[in-house]
Amino acid sequence: MRIDIVTLFPGIFVGPLQESILGRARAKGLVEIGVINLRDWAEGRHRVTDDYPFGGGGGMVLKPEPLFACVEGLRRPGSRVVLLDPQGRRFSQDVARELAKVEHLILLCGRYEGVDERVREHLADDEISIGDYVLTGGELPALVVTDAVVRLLPGALGDAEAPGKDSFGAGLLEGPHYTRPEEFRGWRVPEALLSGDHARIAGWRRAQALWLTWQRRPDLLETAELSPEEQKLIEEFRQGKKPEA
């Protein structure tokens, strides 16, 4: 997979792209990530990338010419051009899974008041928002999308099954994790996890995942695929029963 990120502020990406799982995935050749300075695609001595909005109002708008030139230089069959935009469709684990199958992502980072509307209408294939709030630029959203997508690529995580067990992976929140010590300030690790009984541990984890989802994100239960036993557990929660602590 290749991801090209088009930005006016390439320096923002230096740390995040070389650390931890993203850095290792690049070193292993699972993903190539290019950070492209939009200014390099602007014409004229001053390489101007933004201009005043027609009709007045504060703020600047990213000009269409450098964005079109840059994307037309990068695009090839199999590319998907994604504009990061608070007005786009909401990013989620499902969208991350969808994007992880794309051969070549081109992520366009807006700035200031945003991009000229013709970029949205005639250049972007997709528009993604990472949530209902407004950031100063598309760089952090591009990093969020890149991180969520790259960790799904086969070989990116030490445990290949981790994405399926993570929250949203199987439609539920994931249950709690504990590590050593067994007792910390008087708080003990749940007995089931220390039992060495794999079936009991799996049952405990599943019950905890269901419980947390029922408590924190009941909306997820409407679409999660639940076995008859799991549906029974949810029914018991409704009647006031708690899972084994």
Whether the CB-CB separation of 63 and 51 falls below 8 Å is answered with yes
Using the minimum distance from each CB to ligand SAM, give the nearer residue, 100 or 119: 119
CA proximity to 119, closest of 64, 81, 70:
64
In whole angstroms, how close is the CB of 109 to ligand SAM at the nearest point?
5
Task: In whole angstroms, give the CA distance from residue 26 to residue 1.
Answer: 10
Nearest approach in angstroms of CB 108 to ligand SAM is 7
* Residue 151 is a catalytic residue: yes
Residue 26 CA to residue 50 CA, distance in Å, equals 32
Nearer to ligand SAM, 112 or 237 (CB): 112
Query: Measured from the CB of residue 62, what is the shortest distance to ligand SAM in angstroms?
Result: 8
The verdict on whether 64 is a catalytic residue reads no
Q: Which is nearer to ligand SAM, 117 or 182 (CB)?
A: 117
Using the minimum distance from each CB to ligand SAM, give the nearer residue, 59 or 218. 59
Least spacing, CB of residue 6 vs ligand SAM, in Å: 11
* Interface residues toward ligand SAM, by CB under 6 A: 84-87, 109-111, 113-115, 129-131, 133-138, 141
Q: Which residue has the tokens 């923002």?
A: 12
Q: Which residue is nearest to ligand SAM (CB)?
A: 110
Are 238 and 221 a contacting pair, CB within 8 Å?
Answer: no
Rounded-to-integer distance, Cα 163 and Cα 140, Å: 22
Q: How far is the CB of 85 from ligand SAM (least distance, A)?
A: 5
Catalytic residue among 64, 86, 97, 230: 86
Let me know: does 214 contact 221? Beta carbons within 8 Å: yes
When the beta carbons of 87 and 223 are compared against ligand SAM, the nearer one is 87
User: Pick the catalytic residue: 166, 174, 230, 236?
Assistant: 166
Contacts of 67 (CB under 8 A, 6+ apart): 6, 38, 41, 108, 115, 116, 119, 123
Length reported for the chain: 245
Output DSSP code: residue 52: P
Judged by beta carbon, residue 66 or residue 138, the one nearer ligand SAM is 138
The b-or-e profile of 213-239 (16+ CB within 10 A means b, else e) is: bbeeeeeebeebeeeeebeebbeebee
For the question of residue 76 being annotated catalytic, the response is no
Does 53 participate in catalysis according to the annotation? no
Least distance to ligand SAM, CB of residue 219, Å: 21
Non-local (6+) Cβ contacts of 242 within 8 A are 211
Active site residues: 86, 113, 151, 166
